[in-house]
Amino acid sequence: MTRFVLKRLAGAAFVLLALSVLVYALFYLAPGDPARLACGERCNPQQIAQVREQLGLNDGMAVQYLHFLQGVFAGRDHSTGTSLVHCDAPCLGLSYQSDQQVTRLVLERLPATASLTLGAMVIWLVVGVGTGLLSALRRGGPTERLLTLITLAGTGTPVFILGLLLLMAVCAYLQWLPFPSYVPLGEDPEQWAWNMLLPWLTLGFFESAKYARLTRGSTLETLAEDHIRTFRAYGVGERSVVTRHALRGAVPPVIAVSAVDLGSMFGGAVLTESLFGIPGLGKTLIDGVKAIDLPVVVGVVMVTGTFVVLANVVADLLYAAADRRVVLT
C-alpha cells in the first residue's frame, strides 16, 4: 500500500508539472496584452511599458515559468511599482488586476466552492444511488420506466437550464424562497443554508442522473453473476442478497466516480457558480480568463488539478477497500 501511494503521488507531481507548463504555454501565446488591461484604457504607451516591466512580462515564457516554480516552492518577491511585496510559499503569484496574492484569493474563494460541492454531493449520492438501485430491482416494471425517463431528462438538461427553471418556479412563480444571494457560513448558518438550497438542488440533480445510470448498470451486472444465483438457490433471502452481496459489487464504481467528481467540483462548478452568483473558484477562473489575468488562471487551474489528482489516488484506495479483488500495482 505504501509503495502504491508513493508511486501515485510521484505520478501526480509529474501530471501537475506538465499541467502548469501547458497552461503557461497556452496563455503566453493567447492574444491580448495583460499590461494594457491591468493599466487601464487611459494609460499612454510609456505607462503601459512601465506596467509590463513591473509585471515581468518582458521576460520570456521560460523565465516567467521558472519564477512561478520558485514562488511555489520557496516564495518570491513581487514588485508593485512602488515597493516589493514578499509572497510566502506556496506562492501562486500576484493578480495582474488587483495585486492580490493568488494563494490568498484562492483560499478566500475555496469555502464557497466547498459549500456548493459538498452539499450537492450528498444530494447526488442519495438520489442517484437510491434511484439507480430501485430501478435495477424493479427492472421491467412501470417504476423502472418512470425512473429511467427522469434519469434521461436529468442527463439531457443542461445545468444552467435546470437552474433557471428552479429560479423561475421557486423564486418567481411560487415565491417560496427569495432569489439566492451567497452568505458565508460563519456569518449566518441559517441564511447560508437557505441561499445554498437551490444551487445544491441544481447541481445535485444534474449529477444524480449519472449516478443513477451507473448504479443501475453495476447492480444489474452484479445480480447476474453466478454467486448471486447460487445464494438464491440455497434459499438466502432477497434482502440479504441485495444488501450484503449485490451492493458490494455495485458500490466500488460509484466510489471511484464520486471521488473524481468531488475533486473536479472543488475546482469550481463554473456554470452553477456563475448562475447563482456564488463567489467560488469557478467564477474566479472565468473572471481571470476574461481579464487575461495569467497568475489567477494558472493558480486556479493548479489548485483544480491538485484536487483532481489527489481525488484519483483516494478513489483507487477506496475502490481497493470496497473490492478485495482489486490488486494495487
According to the model, what pLDDT value does residue 275 have? Answer: 85
According to the model, what pLDDT value does residue 139 have? Answer: 79
**pLDDT: is 291 or 200 the higher one?**
200
Cell of residue 273, nine digits: 457558480
According to the model, what pLDDT value does residue 323 have? Answer: 61
According to the model, what pLDDT value does residue 322 have? Answer: 63
| Other beta carbons less than 10 A from residue 278's beta carbon | 24
According to the model, what pLDDT value does residue 326 have? Answer: 58
Segment 260-276 shows an average pLDDT of: 77
Q: Which residues of 208-219 are buried (b: 16+ CB within 10 A; e: fewer)?
A: bbbbbbbbbebb
Spatial separation of the C-alpha atoms in residues 260 and 262, rounded to whole Å: 5
Residue 40, helix vs strand vs coil: coil
Q: What does the mean pLDDT of the chain come to? A: 81
- pLDDT tens profile 74-104: 888 876 666 677 888 888 888 877 878 899 9
According to the model, what pLDDT value does residue 44 have? Answer: 82
Q: How many CA atoms lie within 13 A of 327 on its CB side?
A: 1
Cell of residue 65, nine digits: 515559468
Is the Cβ–Cβ distance between 74 and 64 less than 8 Å?
Answer: no
Q: Give the range among 37-41, 114-118, 284-288 with minimum mean pLDDT.
A: 37-41
pLDDT band at 267 (very low <50, low <70, confident <90, very high): low
Choose the most confident range, by mean pLDDT, from 173-177, 234-238, 312-316.
Answer: 173-177
What are phi and psi for residue 185, nearest 5 degrees? -60, -40
- pLDDT tens profile 199-228: 998 888 888 888 888 888 888 888 787 877
pLDDT band at 196 (very low <50, low <70, confident <90, very high): very high
Cell of residue 304, nine digits: 483544480
Is the Cβ–Cβ distance between 81 and 54 less than 8 Å?
Answer: yes
Residue % of the chain over a pLDDT of 90: 4
Residue 269, helix vs strand vs coil: coil
Segment 250-269 shows an average pLDDT of: 75
Indicate the helix (H) or strand (E) that contains 41.
Answer: none
**pLDDT: is 62 or 251 the higher one?**
62
The CA–CA distances, whole Å, from 321 to 252, 317, 318, 327 equal 9, 6, 5, 10
Cell of residue 1, nine digits: 500500500
Is the Cβ–Cβ distance between 323 and 252 less than 8 Å?
Answer: yes
Indicate the helix (H) or strand (E) that contains 25.
Answer: helix 2-28
According to the model, what pLDDT value does residue 212 have? Answer: 86
Residue 90, helix vs strand vs coil: coil
Spatial separation of the C-alpha atoms in residues 311 and 315, rounded to whole Å: 6
- pLDDT tens profile 315-325: 777 776 666 56
According to the model, what pLDDT value does residue 328 have? Answer: 58
Is the Cβ–Cβ distance between 152 and 144 less than 8 Å?
Answer: no
- pLDDT tens profile 101-156: 899 999 999 899 889 988 998 998 888 888 888 888 887 778 778 887 877 777 77
According to the model, what pLDDT value does residue 318 have? Answer: 74
Spatial separation of the C-alpha atoms in residues 320 and 134, rounded to whole Å: 26
Segment 226-245 shows an average pLDDT of: 77
- pLDDT tens profile 166-185: 899 998 888 888 888 888 88
